[in-house]
Amino acid sequence: MLFEVLIALLLGVVIFLLVFRRRSHVLKTEDGWWGVGPIPDGERDTTIHPFKVTTSDAELEDLHRRIDQTRPVPSLEDSQFNYGFNSEYLEKVVSYWRNDFDWRKQVDKLNQYPHFKTNIEGIDVHYVHVKPKRVPEGTNSLPLLMVHGWPGSFYEFYGTIPLLTEPSDPQGLVFEVVCPSIPGYGYSEAPHKKGFNSVCAARIFHKLMRRLGFQQFYAHGGDWGWLVTTNMAQLEPKIVKALHVNFAPPSKPGLVITLSVLLGRHFPKLFGFTSVDLERLYPCMQKMFVESIKETGYMHIQATKPDTAGRALNDSPVGLAAYILEKFSTWTSQDFRNLEDGGLTRKFSLDDLLTNVMIYWTSGCIIPSMRFYKENFSRLDSPHTTMPVTVPAGFACFPNELMHSPKLWVRQKFHKLLPYTHMA
């Protein structure tokens, strides 16, 4: 009798652990309200409205007046981009912005794809929705949500959209693409209350995709988009069919990652480290700490007092451009710090860079975009940080990412990691 009781207890414990483990792979969340004031009574507006980016003479005159009143400060001799955005080169960028950049033309470019807004949890959410013109007979287009980061915007996907919706191979996969603006970024309304973090954005984007009629979809994210789409997969693993990210730093390094850092240089095969991993991870102190400290000062400001620095950036277009464009220099390659022009136009055009800056300037979103850091870093103990992702996932490993993530590290979070691709 006692033996049977023990067996029953043991089975009960095993079942409990299995059920608990299964449940622990699904993130829990509750509806929020981010609009002004209390939640209103009655039915909420769930309609979808077309949206167009617009500009005006008054907007451009105000911009030019503020640019004309900027007070240049000379850079230190031989400092390049090591102290931040080089002032001499900034004057050239500002001159182009003031005299040659055609914002009206770029507005037309932004409007080449359909834009929409819809109210979710009390705020208007902006998104671009591009359907393919042709779908191969006998197939369906694949719905794909793509989420940006900071200091980016929905515009960073404009070069990719035609490759996904109009592939060169007539038999290739065809996607229907949805590119939303994270609330507080671009043309999405900023939350009016504290606490809007990545999980809240993930919940809102799930509601957006349901409102668009998608029962299941794929997702891609980089930078904050990595975290938002990861949370989406944790919230609804049966709805997110697969996930692709190009950034996946370990949120809470466990024993495996710690041991790999300590021993990987001497026993690389034990941890599956490649020559690429060894090159990017070691010498450990320089690669993982010194370099990251050089490039994360902005993060400490935005994770603690975003409204203070943000107020200055919201008033000064030149300050805003320097703050944002510096990241497109040093985050493209750390070696660009040693160039007088920061290598800024080696991978980008000034028109594209300034278009992204103008999205921040004209929408006045720099402060709410910076607050996203404070809201997320205030919740480092959130359940999602230790919860694995169980949907199929792919990872694109780019050579100049601020933090290199070996395959072993990515697998600690994404249990069904399929492609792990070293990008050129």
**421: DSSP letter:** E
Instruction: Tell me the C-alpha distance between 406 and 270, whole Å.
Output: 13
With CA atoms as reference, report the closest residue to 320 among 102, 4, 97, 20: 97
State the pLDDT at residue 84.
96
Per the domain annotation, does 387 fall within a domain? Answer: yes
Per the domain annotation, does 70 fall within a domain? Answer: yes
Range of the domain at 338: 63-422
3-state secondary structure of 52: coil
Per the domain annotation, does 40 fall within a domain? Answer: no
pLDDT digit string, tens, across residues 378-415: 887 889 999 999 999 999 999 988 889 999 999 999 99
Per the domain annotation, does 378 fall within a domain? Answer: yes
State the pLDDT at residue 126.
98
Per the domain annotation, does 53 fall within a domain? Answer: no
**Taking the CA atoms of the chain, what radius of gyration do you get in angstroms?**
23
Per the domain annotation, does 7 fall within a domain? Answer: no
pTM for the whole structure: 0.92
Report residues of the chain scoring pLDDT below 50: 3-23
In SS3 terms, 230-270 reads as: HHHHHHCCCCEEEEEECCCCCCCCCHHHHHHHHHCCCCHHH
Per the domain annotation, does 42 fall within a domain? Answer: no
Q: What is the largest CA-CA distance in the chain?
A: 90
State the pLDDT at residue 284.
63
State the pLDDT at residue 137.
82
Return all residues near 331 (Cβ < 8 A) that are at least 6 apart. Answer: 295, 400, 402
We report the CATH number of the domain holding residue 147 as 3.40.50.1820
Per the domain annotation, does 51 fall within a domain? Answer: no
State the pLDDT at residue 20.
41
Q: How many domains does the chain have?
A: 1
State the pLDDT at residue 23.
46
State the pLDDT at residue 417.
97
